[in-house]
Structure 1
Amino acid sequence: MAIKEGLRPGGRSARVQESVHSAVRQLLQEQERTSVTVPQIAARAGVTPSTIYRRWGDLAALLADVALARMRPDSEPANTGSLRGDLRAWAEQYLDEMSSEPGRNMMRDVQCSQTPGYCVTILGGQLQVILDRYQGSGQALPSVDRLINLLAAPTVFRILFATEPMQIEELHELIEIALQP
């Protein structure tokens, strides 16, 4: 249920959302996530706990909403001048960000999201920007789905379930596979 579509941008609803999101981010920097509570968030945000429960339902949904907001890119993926270079820059940054403690926590929170597929939409949008740069270049371009399946999926799996995240060399090998027609 997180944020309903059609709300006035910049209105009271947006101010409440930003205040609550900011409170969550601050509290997560100050203390262990397992000790963060809805009443703490509400007090820090200047709202009542019932506002949070009415809007997000529970703490897990709120943490997922904050994590999804953090996943939205601030800028376009790096433009290195080559498809291979752009994919390397994107994949290396993704690996670095997601294998950090905040990145792993963000991925765990997103699992509770009530908007399944949103992460794929975000990643797919970033990868499509890269692919669009090379449309008409004469080179065969992989699909966004191929890139997600060969780059993002194994990266996430290794971060969440292996003892060590993927090594950069392994990531580069996957990029080479993804670029094969």
Structure 2
Amino acid sequence: MAIKEGLRPGGRSARVQESIHSAVRALLEEQDRATVTVPQIAARAGVTPSTIYRRWGDLSALLADVALARMQPDSEPANTGSLRGDVRAWAEQYLDEMSSEPGRNMLRDVQSSLTPGFCATLIGGQLQTILDRYPDQPKPSADQLINLVAAPSVFRILFSKAPLEVEELHRLIEIALGQ
């Protein structure tokens, strides 16, 4: 998507990408996303619009790339000492973050991107980290947790008037954990 596979990490290419990502984030904080343009982003980042078009193709792909980068976790999921507690903490944080206006916009940007499966891989990795902490406990797979906890959360965030209530989220977790 943004930087082609095989390019060395860091260096000029990474600095340009970070400058553009920073410009996008700043502009989205200052104005309505419908008014953000590639020329504005380029001017803020100190690059030419052709640099953006060459790397991302269009504005929607750039917005999706920025959203994907922002969705990367900063740290491992919380370790509460129990599988149920870890899944609850993860799910509550995910619901809270994605239910916000920036979270909904990130989900929409990623949904419109050309990176199918990225979110499932990202979320699956976080959930697998939690599951791996409890090797001797019976538990669902990461895919089952995605289907029973994350998917209903995302559906309600994107296609309903209101996100899941935390109590309903807890009921889905109990179903997923077989309780």
List 4+ stretches of structure 1 deviating above 3 A.
Answer: none
Deviation of 1:2 after TM superposition, in Å, equals: 2.4
Please state if 1:161 is matched with 2:156.
no
1:35 corresponding residue in structure 2: 35
Which residue number corresponds to residue 92 of structure 1? 92
Please give the residue correspondences for 1:66-145 in structure 2 after superposition, counting only pairs within 5 Å: 66-135=66-135, 137=136, 139-145=137-143
- Show the counterpart of 1:22: 22
Q: State the Cα RMSD in Å.
A: 0.9
The CA deviation at 1:133 is 0.2
Q: Please report how far the alpha carbon of residue 3 of structure 1 lies from its aligned counterpart in structure 2 after TM superposition.
A: 2.1
Counterpart Cα distance in 2 of 1:19 and 1:34: 21
The number of equivalent residue pairs is 179
TM-score normalised by L of structure 2: 0.98
Aligned equivalent of 1:171:
169
Which 10-residue stretch deviates more, 7-16 or 78-87? 7-16
- The one-letter amino acid paired with 1:84 is R
Q: Does the aligned pair in 2 maintain the 1:124–1:145 contact within 8 Å?
A: yes
Report the Cα distance in structure 1 between the residues aligned to 2:166 and 2:118, rounded to whole angstroms.
26
Aligned equivalents of 1:13, 1:113: Cα separation in 2? 21
CA distance in 1, matches of 2:119, 2:162: 23
Letter in 1 for 2:4: K
Q: Percent identity?
A: 81
Segments of 5+ residues of structure 2 without an aligned counterpart are none
Task: Kindly state the Cα deviation for residue 9 of structure 1 after the two structures are TM-superposed.
Answer: 1.1
Unaligned runs of 5+ in 1: none
Indicate the larger mover: 166-175 or 6-15.
6-15
| Superposed displacement of residue 112, structure 1 | 2.1
Residue of 146, 151, 159 corresponding to 1:148: 146
